[in-house]
Amino acid sequence: MKRIGATASVVFLVGALSGSAFAGDQPLLKEQAAEGYCHMKFPAVRQRTLSSDNPQPKSDSTGDVIDFYGPCDESPTSADQIIQQKQDEQFMFGRAYEDGD
């Protein structure tokens, strides 16, 4: 009986983790504006994973959302989104720490 409970727990855990991995790449909002052109909102990528081989979107609950207008096949972890978010991070760092004098 203990073996069945442990197996069920492992199956549930694996299912929950794989479900959250797939859910992270889905847009929060997707509206088609024209043929092949969409308005989407999706979570930003975690800053510590921007330079990794496996960028991870932030949790929906953080409120850090990308408001995107462009091709309908865009995702939060696509190469051009990673580049844009890296540039945004550099810009914000420069504004926060560079002396304007």
> Residues 31-42: pLDDT tens digits?
888 888 999 998
Average pLDDT for residues 69-82, to the nearest whole number?
A: 89
pLDDT of residue 61: 84
Closest CA to 54 of 76, 38, 39, 23: 76
**Sign of the CA dihedral with 35 first, then 37, 42, and 45 last:** positive
**pLDDT of 86 strictly over 80:** yes
Q: Where are the alpha helices (DSSP H) in the chain?
A: 2-23, 79-97
Backbone angles phi, psi at 94, to 5 degrees: -60, -40
Report residue 99's pLDDT band, with 50, 70 and 90 as the boundaries: low
CA 33 to chain centre: 22
pLDDT of residue 46: 92
CA torsion 48-54-55-57 (nearest 10°) is -110
Average pLDDT for residues 53-61, to the nearest whole number?
A: 88
**pLDDT of 20 strictly over 50:** no
Range of the domain at 19: 2-97
Q: How many domains does the chain have?
A: 1
Backbone region of residue 63 per phi and psi (left: phi > 0; alpha: psi in -120 to 50; beta: other values): left
